[in-house]
Chain A
Amino acid sequence: MSVLEVRDLHVRVDDQNEHKEILKGVDLTMKTGEIHAVMGPNGTGKSTLSGTIMGNPRYQVTSGDILLDGVSLLDKPVDERARAGLFLAMQYPAEIVGVTNAEFMRAAINARRPDDDPISVRQFIKELDHNLALLDMSEGMAERYLNQGFSGGEKKRNEILQLLMIKPTFAILDEIDSGLDIDAMKVVAKGVNSMRGAAFGSLIITHYQRLLDYIKPDVVHVMMGGRVVKSGDADLARKLEDEGYTGLRDELGLDIQLTDEN
């Protein structure tokens, strides 16, 4: 069993666009075998949390820690964190011309294996074909340049395809449902559910409860104002759907301005 812990995490962003503290003490612990969902209104730091766990250099940790099986990840660059078992399905995957999808996935798989023991072509193609079929993707997708000219939905499926091929210990899915129609969302959920098991944990970041109808979470966390304000089981997501974030905020007596509040 593996454990991913986020302890009293404070994060700021300082770039040409903004200078501010976004995360103000996030605590969260998840284990393999579990699916956690993080919900929350816009601008509350959900994507900052996922990017910081992965090691996006844009985010600066000012205090707190992120630990994988008790080992701090903070001084590790993004590629080391990935090889240690983390995966982040991104909202806006980069497009790279000249590098095919298949080639990229093989490189990612081989990055986790010894130099003298790369995955065999046969094994790779077998897994690729299986996962393409599972996600209702055409074989041609593998030979296209990485995300180049992919539609929004194709990009999201492609993130899940990489997830299935790479088989990380912990996968963070950052708003994988945004911009997806209901059929595509079901396909994405099918992919994630196929990973469920004792050796896999996932942190699903979403605005809406809808995705959680298809990927049932074990734990739901609600973030507001840069911290987790409430955690509970799947019923918490349904309750939010009924009452909204303002309802929960008022119930908890929090003094937080929500971005989209008028």
Chain B
Amino acid sequence: MVRVKPFTTAAELATFSADHHEMASLAALRQQALAAYPQLPLPTFEKIRYQRWPLFNGNLAPEQAANQTVTSTSMSAPVAPLATTGAADQEPAMIQQLDLQVPRVQLSAEAQAQGVVALDFFQAQREYPELFAKYYGTLAAPALANRLAAFHTAAVNGGLLIYLPAGAKLTAPLTLELTQSGDNGQLYAQHLLLVAGENSEATILATRHTTTAGSASANIVEELILEQGAQLRYTAIDGLKNTTYLARRAYLFADARIDWALGEMNDGDIVTDFNTDLVGNGSQADFKAVAISTGSQFQGITTRLTNYGLHTVANILQHGVILSDATLTFNGVGHIVKGARDSDSQQENRVLMLSRTARGDANPILLIDENDVRAGHAASVGRVNESQMYYLMSRGLSKDLAERLVIRGFLGSVLTEIPVAAARAALTATIERKLIDGQRHRDRAQ
């Protein structure tokens, strides 16, 4: 394993900015964030105690020892790629990034014709400085909001810009395959800035995957800005192995709509900050997530949807499963601010525990500061349904197989909502693999 040095100095950071021809305002923001982050408070997430986790480890650049080279085979991740279902004669739109290197971008003819942009983080600053000035760290994910956000702003060492021009409508999904080596000592401070212009429409299928676990941290920020009337379906399967902070934050203008479908299939400890601000009147967010925690890992998943605008609609549905000594905490925060009249905030959080030593929580948190609203929640922490197990096993299915089928049923209410069949199949396969791993680990322990 590569030795991890403490995080960088102002001088080293300035060199890093210069080497990457970073825009002056971003380089300055970096320095400001570097000075500020140690003093800023860590964000608090209910019942998730991550404060002592090694979240600030790693080098800006990969260690020479690891000496990763980009080859087409190293891009292939064990997470099944999400095949597109576009027209047969159309090349799928595919963006692949290994670690923080320059991504490989292949846009479909449809995407090219409509002026869709997908670029490396540093190249994008040079070509679209106005987009960075307007959207980077300003709306969806404020650059200096807390210690983790500011650390990201200081350390961000690679990423992507995706821009959908106003009116662009992609019929086929845009696939992102983001791979982290994990064991090369490099801090993975990856940034995705996605701007969906007015009335644009797209489906994003993203996979995040770590090849080999290592001691460097990941601090990933995805910020999505949906301009008026934009419609985005965002499906992501995360299979990260290092200690990770993952922020996935969206900012919605009027009548914009986002449909999240996330599979948290990580193997390492992770704390997430999933956040959607429904700022514009009539905006809508539908958030669905499934998660499986295995071994001794800790996944702390906080999802916050805030209704600011009038007539906004926010839904959260989170189902998770825990094996062995693992921990899974779901916080669902539905916040309706004063003045967000005729708004709706609903949520359901459920956790299933498959062992006596599993730890789980499902916390619905409703913060309602307005009277003229609809809001509701449901939550449960339970064990596998014994009558379902008995029924399946009475047909000869082994306990492990029966358990996996019952779990699939439990996660099914989320799975069936995923818009693209190939993505559903990929997530089903990932769930199956993660459960088999978890059961093996448990059976060895017994």
Residues in chain B near residue A162, CB distance under 8 A: 395
Pair B394/A78 contact, Cβ less than 8 Å: yes
Per-residue A-contact encoding for B349-368, CB less than 8 Å = 1, 0 else: 00000000000000000000
Kindly state whether residue A99 has any CB partner on chain B within 8 Å.
yes
Residues in chain B near residue A97, CB distance under 8 A: 409, 412-413
Residues in chain B near residue A93, CB distance under 8 A: 391
Cα A56 to Cα B405 with chains together (Å): 19
Residues in chain B near residue A92, CB distance under 8 A: 387
Pair B390/A78 contact, Cβ less than 8 Å: yes
Residues in chain B near residue A56, CB distance under 8 A: 390
Kindly state whether residue B26 has any CB partner on chain A within 8 Å.
no
Kindly state whether residue A90 has any CB partner on chain B within 8 Å.
yes
Report B369 CB to chain A, min CB distance, Å. Answer: 36
Kindly state whether residue B337 has any CB partner on chain A within 8 Å.
no
Kindly state whether residue B411 has any CB partner on chain A within 8 Å.
yes
Cα A107 to Cα B401 with chains together (Å): 9
Report B407 CB to chain A, min CB distance, Å. Answer: 9
Pair B409/A104 contact, Cβ less than 8 Å: no
Cα A108 to Cα B416 with chains together (Å): 24
- CB within 8 Å for A57 and B390 given contacts A111-B398, A166-B395: yes
Pair A90/B405 contact, Cβ less than 8 Å: no
Kindly state whether residue B406 has any CB partner on chain A within 8 Å.
yes
Report B402 CB to chain A, min CB distance, Å. Answer: 7
Cα A55 to Cα B395 with chains together (Å): 12
- CB within 8 Å for A111 and B391 given contacts A98-B416, A99-B405: no
In-complex Cβ contact of A108 among B388, B396, B399, B413 (8 A): B396
Interface size class of A (residues with CB under 8 A): 20 to 34
Residues in chain A near residue B410, CB distance under 8 A: 98
Pair A111/B397 contact, Cβ less than 8 Å: yes
Pair B408/A82 contact, Cβ less than 8 Å: no
Pair B413/A79 contact, Cβ less than 8 Å: no
Residues in chain B near residue A98, CB distance under 8 A: 405, 408-412, 415-416
Kindly state whether residue B83 has any CB partner on chain A within 8 Å.
no
Q: Which residue of A is nearest B413, CB measured?
A: A97
Kindly state whether residue A196 has any CB partner on chain B within 8 Å.
no
Pair B413/A94 contact, Cβ less than 8 Å: no
Kindly state whether residue A190 has any CB partner on chain B within 8 Å.
no
Pair A82/B388 contact, Cβ less than 8 Å: no
Cα A89 to Cα B74 with chains together (Å): 51
In-complex Cβ contact of A79 among B385, B399, B408, B409 (8 A): B399
Residues in chain B near residue A99, CB distance under 8 A: 405, 408-409
Kindly state whether residue A132 has any CB partner on chain B within 8 Å.
no
- CB within 8 Å for A96 and B395 given contacts A56-B390, A111-B401: no
- CB within 8 Å for A77 and B393 given contacts A96-B409, A99-B405: yes
| A 82-96 contacts with B by CB, 8 A | 82-83, 87-88, 90, 92-94, 96
Q: A82-B394, A96-B392, A96-B405 are in contact. List 4 more A-B contacts (CB 8 A).
A: A57-B390, A93-B391, A107-B397, A108-B397
**Can you list the 7 inter-chain pairs with the closest CB atoms, starting with the nearest?**
A98-B412, A82-B396, A94-B391, A108-B395, A111-B396, A79-B393, A98-B409
Instruction: Write the residues of chain A forming the contact surface with B, with a CB cutoff of 8 angstroms.
Output: 54-57, 77-79, 82-83, 87-88, 90, 92-94, 96-99, 104, 107-108, 111-112, 145, 162, 166
The 11 sampled A-B contact pairs (Cβ below 8 Å) are A56-B390, A57-B386, A79-B396, A79-B399, A79-B402, A96-B405, A97-B412, A98-B405, A98-B411, A107-B401, A111-B398
